[in-house]
């Protein structure tokens, strides 16, 4: 029996959500529409025609939700701010009611001994800015810094851990290359521009923080290890492309000051040459990086756009409801790669979790208590926390873990069909029911990881 894992002193145990996925009431109290409100109300974009109009009604239920976080023993809570609640037109006029919502939420978290981690941008761009070109307009770096300054001035000190962007890769790949996510563009030429402007905006927001903020700021990326499907040269080259496109495309400019060369190979004529001052803007010193980990990809050379790669399904693999292979070892491998490539920058696991089938309504157990049994999720979480512990033992400076997600919520264009929550939401009644995984996670937190 291996000794109980010991996590570092101060390791931050939490859970994560995002504004548009849980809040509902996207236009309440003076808020402006975001591209996700626009996208969800565009016929055909969302599974079952689901929208974020109600979601988990967190906009009204936030106090009870924070109470539940405390009851479950969370030490931290990662959430995002909806830009268009703060600046309905994206720039200019501040909507005080929007600012008040997040200020009250932060105060409630602190009053319950829960540390807030605030994400400035988790995909819900103000529609008014999309009308001005959105991430394709280079001015967005200034727009984003203006928005960030409003929040820094209002919340810094109560919020001590800030994140600029959540997953620029998804924003670009989903929103501008393949079109599966808002704003639904499909352009090989737009994607690199959006991607670069996202990183310029990241840099501008960090630079602004250094003028105003007194605490910590970082970037959150989704990365996943790419393993070759065979030992052929073609598959090795495919791995190189896939790795550069997802794992290095954002971390390299942010931490090393240049893009990986494979991007020019992938995008060809669509890959612009950027001015040197852009790299200076992007490569602002960070206090941490957030890594969102879900799965790995066994990668082969294949006809595909624009990577010419394919993912090989593993016949003996276990897969989640979103079709992602359960592969905890990939998280250890990835964290070791991160340390080796970028050095000893502190890391938070800012998202990790899985969608497995959970019923739309909770069961009632023999004592009359509502209950949701989710053994597959417990197994997934236990193994990934074990993988994190292995990386810590190997010297990676991992400071915390934010389970995705605190609540079942709107899984973007998949609507409410996928449940990632440790807490079950009955969308008919809005009743919250901690799943078995939540009760298990409470024990893990209370034992500081020893009861994995
Ligand atoms: O898909 C589960 C979660 C989303 O609900 C979060 O909003 C988002 O931050 C997030 N990122 C990832 C990994 C990257 C990814 C996102 C969407 C689709 C495919 C891959 C998984 N998740």
Residue 74, CA distances (Å) to 3, 28, 86, 293, 441 in order: 25, 28, 27, 20, 9
Residue from 162, 174, 92 nearest 126 by CA: 92
> How is residue 304 written in tokens?
């595909």
Res 3: pLDDT: 80
Q: Is the CB of 173 under 6 A from ligand 1?
A: no
Cα separation, 138 vs 130, whole angstroms: 12
Residue 312, helix vs strand vs coil: coil
Residue 392, helix vs strand vs coil: helix
* Residues with active-site annotation: 167, 351
The secondary structure of residue 246, as a DSSP letter, is I
**Phi-psi category of 308—alpha, beta or left, where left has phi over 0 and alpha has psi -120 to 50?**
left
Res 2: pLDDT: 72
**Please, what's the b/e burial string for 111-133 (b: 16 or more CB within 10 A of its CB; e: otherwise)?**
eeebbbbbbbbbbbbbbbbbeee
CA 76 to centroid of ligand 1, rounded, Å: 20
Ligand 1, atom 4, residue with closest C-alpha = 411
pLDDT digits (tens, 9 = 90+) for 344-372: 999 999 999 999 999 999 999 999 999 99
Res 222: pLDDT: 98
Phi/psi at 402 (5° precision): -110, 110
What's the gap between Cα 163 and its chain centre?
10
Pairing of strands 347-352, 288-292: parallel
CA 323 to centroid of ligand 1, rounded, Å: 12
User: For the chain, how far is it from start to end, CA to CA, in angstroms?
Assistant: 13
Residue 251, CA distances (Å) to 101, 269, 270, 281 in order: 32, 23, 21, 14
Residue 238, helix vs strand vs coil: helix
Residue 211, helix vs strand vs coil: helix
Q: What is the pLDDT along the chain (452 residues), one digit of tens a residue?
A: 678 888 999 999 999 999 999 999 999 999 999 999 999 999 999 999 999 999 999 999 999 999 999 999 999 999 999 999 999 999 999 999 999 999 999 999 999 999 999 999 999 999 999 999 999 999 999 999 999 999 999 999 999 999 999 999 999 999 999 999 999 999 999 999 999 999 999 999 999 999 999 999 999 999 999 999 999 999 999 999 999 999 999 999 999 999 999 999 999 999 999 999 999 999 999 999 999 999 999 999 999 989 999 999 999 999 999 999 999 999 999 999 999 999 999 999 999 999 999 999 999 999 999 999 999 999 999 999 999 999 999 999 999 999 999 999 999 999 999 999 999 999 999 999 999 999 999 999 999 999 99
Overall pTM surpassing 0.90 (yes/no): yes
Q: Is the CB of 18 under 6 A from ligand 1?
A: yes
Res 1: pLDDT: 63
Q: Is the CB of 351 under 6 A from ligand 1?
A: yes
Q: Is the CB of 420 under 6 A from ligand 1?
A: yes
Residue from 395, 238, 225, 371 nearest 296 by CA: 225
Residue 385, CA distances (Å) to 46, 196, 280, 447, 448 in order: 33, 33, 36, 13, 12
CA 92 to centroid of ligand 1, rounded, Å: 31
**Which atom of ligand 1 has the smallest separation from the CA of 322?**
1
Phi/psi at 226 (5° precision): -110, 120
3-state helix, strand, coil in the chain (%, to 5): 40, 20, 40
What's the gap between Cα 412 and its chain centre?
12
Query: What is the best residue among 167, 169, 419 to mutate for testing ligand 1's pocket, by most ligand atoms within 8 Å of CB?
Result: 167
CB atoms within 10 A of CB 319: 14
Res 319: pLDDT: 98
CB atoms within 10 A of CB 307: 18
CA 57 to centroid of ligand 1, rounded, Å: 21
Q: Is the CB of 358 under 6 A from ligand 1?
A: no
The DSSP string of 7-44 is: PPTT-EEEEE--HHHH---TTGGGPPPBHHHHHHTSTT
CA 364 to centroid of ligand 1, rounded, Å: 31
Phi/psi at 103 (5° precision): -65, -45
């Amino acid at each position: 029996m291996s000794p109980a894992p010991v996590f570092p002193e101060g390791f931050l145990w939490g859970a994560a959500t995002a504004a548009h996925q849980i809040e509902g009431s996207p236009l309440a109290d003076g808020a402006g529409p975001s591209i996700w409100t626009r996208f969800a109300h565009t016929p055909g974009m969302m599974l079952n025609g689901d929208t974020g109009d109600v979601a988990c009604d967190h906009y009204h239920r936030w106090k009870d939700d924070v109470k539940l976080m405390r009851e479950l023993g969370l030490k931290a809570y990662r959430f995002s701010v909806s830009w268009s609640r703060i600046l309905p037109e994206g720039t200019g006029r501040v909507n005080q009611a929007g600012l008040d919502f997040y200020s009250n939420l932060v105060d409630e978290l602190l009053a319950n001994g829960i540390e807030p981690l605030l994400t400035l941008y988790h995909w819900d761009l103000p529609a008014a800015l999309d009308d001005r070109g959105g991430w394709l307009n280079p001015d967005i770096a200034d727009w984003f810094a203006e928005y960030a300054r409003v929040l820094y001035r209002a919340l810094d000190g109560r919020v001590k851990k800030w994140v600029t962007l959540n997953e620029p890769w998804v924003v670009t790949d989903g929103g501008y290359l393949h079109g599966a996510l808002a704003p639904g563009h499909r352009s090989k030429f737009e994607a690199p521009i959006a991607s670069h402007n996202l990183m310029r905006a990241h840099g501008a927001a960090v630079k602004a923080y250094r003028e105003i903020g007194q605490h910590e700021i970082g970037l959150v990326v989704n990365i996943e290890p790419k393993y070759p499907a065979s030992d052929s040269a073609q598959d090795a080259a495919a791995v190189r492309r896939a790795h550069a496109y997802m794992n290095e495309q954002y971390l390299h400019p942010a931490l090393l000051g240049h893009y990986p060369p494979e991007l020019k190979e992938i995008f060809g004529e669509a890959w612009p040459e950027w001015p040197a001052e852009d790299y200076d803007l992007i490569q602002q010193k960070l206090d941490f990086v957030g890594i969102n980990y879900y799965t790995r990809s066994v990668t082969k050379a294949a006809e595909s756009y624009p990577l010419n790669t394919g993912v090989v399904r593993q016949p003996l693999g276990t897969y989640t409801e979103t079709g992602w292979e359960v592969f905890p070892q990939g998280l250890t491998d990835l964290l070791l790669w991160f340390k080796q490539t970028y050095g000893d920058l502190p890391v938070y696991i800012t998202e990790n979790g899985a969608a497995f089938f959970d019923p739309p309504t909770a069961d009632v157990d023999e004592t009359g208590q509502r209950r949701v049994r989710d053994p597959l999720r417990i197994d997934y979480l236990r193994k990934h926390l074990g993988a994190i512990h292995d990386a810590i033992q190997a010297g990676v400076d991992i400071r915390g873990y934010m389970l995705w997600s605190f609540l079942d919520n709107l899984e973007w264009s998949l609507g409410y069909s996928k449940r990632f929550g440790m807490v079950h939401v009955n969308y008919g009644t809005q009743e919250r029911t901690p799943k078995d995984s939540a009760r298990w996670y409470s024990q893990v937190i209370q034992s500081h990881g020893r009861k994995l």
